[in-house]
Chain A
Amino acid sequence: MSTDRANIDRDKPVLLQGNEAVALGALDAGLEFFGGYPITPSSEIAEILSQEMPKSGNKFIQMEDELSSMASIIGASLTGKKSMTATSGPGFSLMQENIGYGMMTEVPCVVVNVQRGGPSTGLPTKPSQGDLMQARWGTHGDHPSITLYPDSVQEAYELTIRAFNLAEKYRTPVFLFLDEMIGHMRESVHLPKKKDLEIINRINPTVPPEWYKHFKNNPKYISPLASYGQGYRFHVTGLTHDEKGFPTNKKEEIQAKMDKLKKKITNNLDDLIQVEAFHMDDAEVAVFAAGLVARSAKEAVIRAREQNQKIGLVRPLTIWPFPDNEVERMLSSTQMTLIAEMNQGQLINEVKRVTYYGEHAKYIKLQRYDGTLITPEDILQRISEVL
């Protein structure tokens, strides 16, 4: 545990664990406050940050539970600090109420969920993709969700930085989802030089305090964000509120608030959505997979191509908002889509929804929820069964 993480030689690749890459990505993105609670398989993120953050004067605190972890990072973000927590399924469940609070009050922060098997305590050390719908609908009420999902340790690092950038840009909690195996896997990672990183910071208000409205609506639906102690003295509440942040029961103000939450996402899909198409140009069969399953799928595609089978892969890096248009377009010329996921069927329904009117509406599923990874062989065998 004596790695000098502040002085990693960025000219050559380094061997990093997925959770370590998330911690380094967060530090590179400008993390200033971490509040968390131990839970397998995410604990390394907190452990590494507890070592690194005091060195630079940044704040690390182990809270008394996940509810308070989520609360603490929202509080910290309201003082202008980039903040994050990291957890796994049971903890993610406990955070849901305050995640909704963060969305309603439009407070930037990053929540990492290193997924394990569920429901309940489930499988603490085994992989599962069982929380994908929870990332979309976990907290009550209509709400936005931005969820990023890497397939490698390298990408875990990159998407961590992107998660911070999106949180700051869109004034909302952003989820970074890891599969247990990515969290614990070690891979060679190329860390960019800090000066080459694109870092986005929240927009501060430029108006004098008496003109400032914490939730002022504008064509972009994203309001500048003041910090506590700057002289703006604004009010923040989880109650549905007007532009000043005061509770409201007026239907026009309720509608405007709810539209603001929705449209700041739906008006910016091009910026938010990333989908990888791998060998899709002439693919007759597409595999749709995300996270670590997509790694297996990529290997399966490579092997199938060696046998001259026209198979391709569609892999969303952004799972929420779901890439409706991209997935529909990519799957429009295929004859069949195999949806592979480590759950009892979550993203399959999204794929069906967006391709419902297509001619290609032939789906096969590969669902594994026995705590083991879907392998390239599993995917190739499933395809050979139906072809």
Chain B
Amino acid sequence: MKNIPQKVAHRYLRHDKKFPHVWCPGCGIGTILGDFLRAVYSSGIKKDDIVMVSGIGCSGRMPVYVDFNTLHTTHGRAIAFATGIKFSEPRLKVVVITGDGDAAAIGGNHLIHAARRNIDLTVIIINNNIYGMTGGQASPTTPLGDYATTAPYGSIEPKFDLCDLAESAGASFVARTTAYHTVEARQIFEAALNKKGCSVVETIAQCPVSYGKMNNQTSAIEMLKWQKKHTIPVKQYRKLDTEKKQGKLVRGILVDKDRKEFTARYDELVAQFNKKKDSSESEKRSEEKKHDETKEKAKKEKQEKK
């Protein structure tokens, strides 16, 4: 494990960008950004080789602050833009920063298809259980019964388990962490960056402003404590019986399997044609050679006759 110097995250920020950032006091996104930048540092990937792509919402504002190749796209489509980037230039490390509304509602289709293709993207879903930027509307991960500005009587819809979704769609790396567990988050981000294939990391973040105001949780500290108390490391979790799992979230690397990656598959297809081309060219060459040989032979014979 590489030693992480203090303030290493500052090396990755854009100093010509107009700070301060847009995030509210107590928001979890800043912590997660710090964890991610430390993971980039310890992974050793160069700034020039990273493309950070985001969608719309609070998380969507992250790329503007960081000194990578950055793309802030339309709502829900970050993974689709990222697919174009990764497929056209596979040497680039493409990271998608997205939120729960962005990835699970409007962009849900792209999430499952990226996982199905197993294209080499690092998808970090910052899940704060709410639409923060637009003022606290219910999202597909708002827990049943919780309040939102569009669920004033409590949400009557069950929530998505994003990790289960990514796993069943075929992602080769799936993990869950939180804004509280910063060391674990960094380690998971690094593992995700190093994984060849579609990596999906759900990161639980507190939103004391938009979510908290509707659900009597206006203290960021209390929400962070909740993350500590209500999540269980995966090894421990898997030993628990169903009853004890109630109300708890599993945390850590949930899936890490080897599955052929999409751009590698395409390269294999291209290589098939190159092989055919090579063999047909070498055939041609050998034919030409034969032709030349017979020509020379005839020439020699002619000369001999003379």
A105 to chain B, nearest CB (A): 9
**Range, interface on chain A:** 35 or more
The A-contacting residues of B in range 63-104, CB under 8 angstroms, are 63-64, 67-74, 76-77, 79-85, 87-89, 91-92
Among B14, B84, B266, B270, max chain A CB count under 10 A is at B84
Residue of B nearest to A69 (CB): B80
| A236 close to B72 (CB less than 8 A) | yes
Query: Which residues in A have their C-beta under 8 angstroms from that of B71?
Result: 75, 78, 235-237
Q: Which residues of A have CB within 8 Å of B297?
A: none
Q: Which of B2-10, B45-53, B182-190 contacts A (4 or more CB under 8 A)?
A: B45-53
| Contact across chains for B80 and A247 when beta carbons are under 8 A apart | no
Does A101 sit at the interface, judged by CB under 8 A? yes
A73 contacts chain B at the CB level, 8 A cutoff: yes
Interface size class of B (residues with CB under 8 A): 35 or more
Bound CA span A61–B67, Å: 30
A68/B110 in contact, CB under 8 A: yes
* In the complex, per-residue mask of A327-355: 1 if CB is within 8 Å of any chain B CB, else 0: 00000000000000000000000000000
Q: Contact: B74 with A97, CB < 8 Å?
A: yes
From A111-119, A124-132, A226-234, A279-287, the one touching the partner chain is A226-234
Whether A235 contacts B80 in the complex (CB less than 8 A), given A54-B269, A59-B266, comes out as no
Decide if A238 touches B109 in the complex (CB within 8 Å).
no
Q: A76 with B72: in contact, given A98-B77, A237-B64 (CB under 8 Å)?
A: no
**0/1 per residue, B110-121, Cβ < 8 Å to A?**
100100000000
Residue A106 at the chain B interface, CB threshold 8 Å: no
Supposing A75-B81, A75-B82 touch, asked if A233 and B88 sit within 8 A by C-beta, the answer is no
> CB-CB < 8 A to A236: which residues of B?
70-72
Do A71 and B74 touch (CB < 8 A)?
yes
Hey, which chain A residues are within 8 Å of B83, CB to CB?
35, 61, 63, 68, 71-72, 75
Contact residues in A for B274 (Cβ distance below 8 Å): 57
A78–B14 CA distance with the chains assembled, in angstroms: 20
Q: Is the CB of A238 within 8 A of B74?
A: yes
| Contact of A238 with B73 in the complex, beta carbons under 8 Å | yes
Bound Cα distance from A228 to B67, whole angstroms? 12
Q: A244 to B18, alpha carbons, bound, how many Å? A: 12
For window 238-256 of A, CB contacts with B under 8 Å fall at 238-239, 244, 246-247
Residues of A contacting B304 in the complex (Cβ-Cβ under 8 angstroms): none
Report the Cα distance A77→B82, complex, angstroms. Answer: 12
Tell me whether A59 and B70 are in contact (CB under 8 A). no
* Cβ contact within 8 Å between A246 and B80: no
Q: How far is the CB of A96 from chain B (nearest CB, A)?
A: 11
- Whether A247 pairs with B64 at a CB distance below 8 angstroms is yes
CB under 8 Å from chain A, chain B span 1-24: 14, 16-18
- Judge whether B273 is part of the interface by a CB distance below 8 angstroms: yes
* Residues in B whose Cβ lies below 8 Å from that of A33: 84, 87-88
- Complex alpha-carbon distance, A250 and B231, angstroms: 44
Q: Let me know if B87 and A76 touch, CB within 8 A.
A: yes
CB pair A64 B84 closer than 8 Å? no
Q: Supply 9 further A-B pairs (C-beta < 8 A) apart from A35-B83, A68-B80, A73-B84.
A: A71-B84, A76-B85, A79-B89, A79-B92, A101-B74, A229-B89, A229-B92, A236-B71, A246-B17
7 A-B pairs with least C-beta separation: A75-B84, A72-B84, A68-B80, A71-B80, A76-B88, A237-B72, A79-B89
